[in-house]
Amino acid sequence: MLTEEPPQKIRKLNSSIETPNLVKLEVIPILDPKLKCSEIPTTSFQAIQLENKRVIGQIIGRLKELPEEFQHLKRVGKDGSVLISENKNDSEQIVLDLGNPVVQLKNLKTILVPAIKPLTRRQFDFAKQVWPTGFHPNHEIERILDGSWLTESLKVYIIKWSQYAIDLKNGCISVQNDVLLSSGSPSTHPLGHAVMEMVGNLPKRTGSDYLGTGADVFLVNEPCAMCSMALVHFRIKRLFYVRSSKNGILKDDGWQLHLEPSINHHYEVYKVNLPENEDDVCDNGSVNTTCFCTNFK
């Protein structure tokens, strides 16, 4: 079987920097849903309110470290409260074991803290309003979320190679350093999908077990499970596809192979939307509710 569904007509792209197609090009990052939430869950925790702030350092020095799942939390709150334990009974015993008359059971209180580590700047902004929280930003993810990743030169690059794949008739190509590595179109073989043909047409190289390390792949149809897994072994960096497929496993409607934690390599996935008219497009690559990510809070 060569295709999963009857092919749909794809509008031809123009790679000229002067054209509206370039200005209005829409490239949708297919991200982990965890990254698209601006809030994160909270959980209850026991903290002790110390009237004498000068003993905070002494108390912290005698407490055990917070469990690994709560290492993102700062030990002391804005009001000087000190985190003790998630469990109330354990917290009471810890306070008694401290044997410090300044630290009394009556000063224990239940508070809310972020239950998980924030993954994005927006999640951190939410978390720090709940309780002081540590955060180490992933600058690449932040650029994808705010749209700054989609530069004018990258738009030209995406249009150029997407058009190349379209011209191959449901084709697939791999590109490295803006140079074509390999290309393929569906064949008459039962497993002759475009991705598999592209991989099979790669020239043999020495010095690397993974022929496509760091490459970008452009294809017309969203790949199936077999092809998506082949690209894991191919060790690509990014995948750009133009048209969703019924048996594709990358879009936001079910299990997504590229986000599966158990695989040993992950690549970025983007859907290239070809504009039909100016009312249907967004002129940047940010992830937002008004353009193409309706479930982003």
Averages of pLDDT over runs of 10 residues in the chain (297 residues) are 49 50 80 93 94 83 93 94 94 90 89 97 97 96 94 94 93 95 93 94 66 91 93 93 90 84 93 61 35 30
- Per-residue model confidence as pLDDT tens digits over 243-252: 999 888 888 7
Describe the strand order of the beta sheet including 42-48 as a list of residue ranges.
82-85, 42-48, 108-114
Q: Are 215 and 221 in contact (CB under 8 A)?
A: no
Question: Which residue do the tokens 């295709």 mark?
Answer: 3
Here the tokens at position 102 are 């300044």
- Per-residue model confidence as pLDDT tens digits over 49-98: 887 778 888 888 889 999 999 999 999 999 889 999 999 999 999 999 98
For CA atoms 221, 227, 230, 232, give the dihedral sign.
positive
pLDDT given for residue 225 in this prediction: 92
pLDDT given for residue 145 in this prediction: 94
Question: Which residue do the tokens 């879009």 mark?
Answer: 251
Domains of the chain in start order, with CATH, are 20-36+139-280 (3.40.140.10), 42-115 (no CATH)
Crossing angle (nearest 10°) for helices 139-146 and 121-130: 100
Length of the chain: 297
pLDDT given for residue 239 in this prediction: 97
Determine the Cα angle at 268 with ends 266 and 270, to 5°.
Answer: 150
pTM for this structure?
Answer: 0.77
CA distances from residue 63 to 78, 113, 212 in whole angstroms, order as listed: 19, 18, 50
CA distance 46 to 57: 18
pLDDT given for residue 206 in this prediction: 54
